[in-house]
């Protein structure tokens, strides 16, 4: 019953915008969702800011917390989630986003993410490590 209600809410409020992979050179604005409860959050803020500043890409960062609503700028071009947990608030933010390219750490039903970089079974990487891996993958995309 709960999944039915959740699916109904997402059908009513979810984005109808088609999404696809994008090359790094085609990206002009990124919204990054960070796990605000993780101890490495200050390190990842520094790494993310430096990376996108060096590329001339506009950046919006949001520190997500498990028990709070997550506000995402609806007009962002790319949504990048470094959040390792699944929760209704994260799934809602991802599905509502109008981003043309969505990257995450864990997939949700209906596969709203275009690219998922997950931790190997039994291990958990830090946010900076996952971010670096995501950027390696995007940098290697060819048209």
Q: Note whether residue 113 is domain-resident.
A: yes
Q: What is the CATH number of the domain that holds 94?
A: 3.40.50
Q: Note whether residue 78 is domain-resident.
A: yes
Alpha helices in the chain (DSSP H): 2-13, 41-55, 88-96, 127-139
Please report, in tens digits, the pLDDT of each residue of the chain (143 residues total).
Answer: 455 544 544 444 444 555 567 777 788 899 999 998 888 788 999 999 999 999 999 999 989 887 787 877 767 899 999 999 888 889 888 888 889 999 999 888 888 899 999 888 888 888 999 999 999 988 887 65
- Other CB atoms within 10 Å distance of the CB of residue 7: 13
CA distance 50 to 67: 29
Q: Note whether residue 114 is domain-resident.
A: yes
Token digits of residue 53: 């500043």
The total of structural domains in the chain comes to 1
Q: Is 124 helix (H, G, I), strand (E, B) or coil?
A: coil
Domain range for 40 is: 27-139
Which DSSP category does 106 fall into?
Answer: S
Q: pTM for this one?
A: 0.81
């Amino acid at each position: 019953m709960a999944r039915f209600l959740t699916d109904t809410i997402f059908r009513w409020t979810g984005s109808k915008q088609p999404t696809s992979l994008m090359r790094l050179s085609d990206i002009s604005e990124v919204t990054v969702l960070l796990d605000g409860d993780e101890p490495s959050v200050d390190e990842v803020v520094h790494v993310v800011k430096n990376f996108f500043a060096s590329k001339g890409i506009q950046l919006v960062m949001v520190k997500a917390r498990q028990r709070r609503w997550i506000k995402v700028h609806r007009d962002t071009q790319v949504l990048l989630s470094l959040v390792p947990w699944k929760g209704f608030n994260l799934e809602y933010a991802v599905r509502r986003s109008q981003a043309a390219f969505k990257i995450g750490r864990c997939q949700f039903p209906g596969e709203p993410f275009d690219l998922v970089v997950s931790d190997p079974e039994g291990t958990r990487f830090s946010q900076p490590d996952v971010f670096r891996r995501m950027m390696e993958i995007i940098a290697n995309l060819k048209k």
